[in-house]
């Protein structure tokens, strides 16, 4: 979620959930983002017929997340995370990431881990789980069933990054992004080298999920050689079509991507934090990856 605080006439475009992009921000005047090729109808949502389960985590063993499937991204703790985010991402700490009762729980807390070698002065802790180095996919239907936090300052995300390591050229797909001060709004985004916040050409859309914080919903990505589509509960709302002109800047999605799950705090999109409302948590019932 190298994200943008989008869908406004004058917005702060950012490199959000903090992938591998720049931490700079820019004031850019843009029109509300619309999907590429808006005249092309969105396909029906849900798992495509004939696609089979290729990878999953059902979170059925209590304790830390399965180390065979998940790693932690802590690389920017010392320097500080992108978009002025306020969290320290902890590695292998039950207080911030644990499996309990059939669910993965990513928890943000008001605390300072000042004794950690990579401590960067943060007054909040959380976790950022990645499949990088464990699993990545090219073309897939990915479904993550999750319940989101709604405390002010929370910024959970479910998203994908390219494995080649170059953002935004290698692409980014935001399957779900949410902030506590807009509790019913879900954002989906698809970024390429040609469509990203530095160029002022983002591809972002919003949809309403009235009880996103009170109930579990299925956040979905349908990714084929033809298009990338993001939806929720079998209802698609944003897509990017493959222009099939061989331009990697426009279509990097013929190469693998890995999955990220995180809960950021504050920052340019998360906004003011309500300390009294912490801890807050994102709960995930499962992650399932199907391929053709």
Which residues form the catalytic set? 172, 177
Residue in 110, 105, 122 with CA at minimum distance from that of residue 276: 110
Instruction: Please give, one letter per residue, the 3-state secondary structure of the chain.
Output: CCCEECCCCEEEECCCCCCCCCCCCEEEECCCCCCCCCCCCCCCCCCCCCCEEEEEECCCCCECCCCCCCEECCCCCCCCCHHHECEEECCCCCCCEEEECCEEEEEEEECCCCCCCCCCCCCEEECEEECCCCCCECCEEEEEEEECCCCCCEEEEEEEEECCCCCCCCCEEEEEECCCCCCCEEEEEEECCCCCHHHCCCCEEEEECCCCCCCCEEEEEEECCCEEEEEECCEEEEEEECCCCCCCCCCCCCCCEEEEEEEEEEHHHHCCCCHHHCCEEEEEEEEEEEEC
**How far is residue 206's CA from residue 27's CA, in Å, rounded to a whole number?**
20
């Amino acid at each position: 979620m190298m994200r943008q605080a989008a869908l406004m006439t004058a917005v702060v475009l950012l490199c959000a959930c903090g992938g591998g992009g720049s931490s700079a921000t820019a004031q850019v005047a843009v029109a509300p983002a619309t999907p590429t090729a808006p005249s092309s109808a969105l396909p029906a949502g849900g798992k495509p017929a004939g696609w089979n389960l290729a990878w999953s985590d059902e979170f059925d063993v209590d304790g830390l997340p399965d180390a065979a499937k998940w790693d932690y991204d802590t690389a920017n703790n010392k320097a500080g995370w992108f978009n002025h985010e306020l969290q320290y991402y902890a590695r292998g700490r039950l207080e911030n990431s644990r499996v309990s009762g059939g669910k993965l729980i990513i928890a943000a807390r008001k605390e300072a881990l000042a004794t950690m070698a990579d401590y960067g002065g943060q007054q909040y802790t959380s976790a950022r789980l990645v499949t990088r180095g464990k699993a990545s996919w090219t073309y897939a239907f990915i479904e993550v069933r999750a319940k989101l936090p709604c405390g002010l300052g929370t910024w959970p995300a479910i998203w994908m990054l390219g494995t080649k390591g170059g953002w935004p050229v290698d692409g980014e797909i935001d399957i779900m992004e949410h902030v506590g001060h807009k509790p019913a709004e879900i954002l989906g985004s698809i970024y390429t080298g040609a469509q990203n916040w530095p160029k002022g050409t983002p591809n972002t859309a919003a949809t309403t999920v009235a009880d996103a914080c009170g109930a579990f919903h299925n956040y979905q990505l349908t990714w084929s050689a033809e298009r990338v589509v993001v939806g929720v509960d079998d209802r698609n709302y944003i897509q990017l079509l493959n222009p099939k002109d061989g331009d990697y800047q426009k279509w990097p999605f013929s190469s693998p991507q890995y999955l990220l799950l995180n809960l950021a705090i504050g920052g340019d999109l998360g906004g003011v934090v309500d300390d009294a409302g912490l801890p807050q948590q994102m709960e995930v019932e499962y992650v399932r990856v199907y391929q053709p």
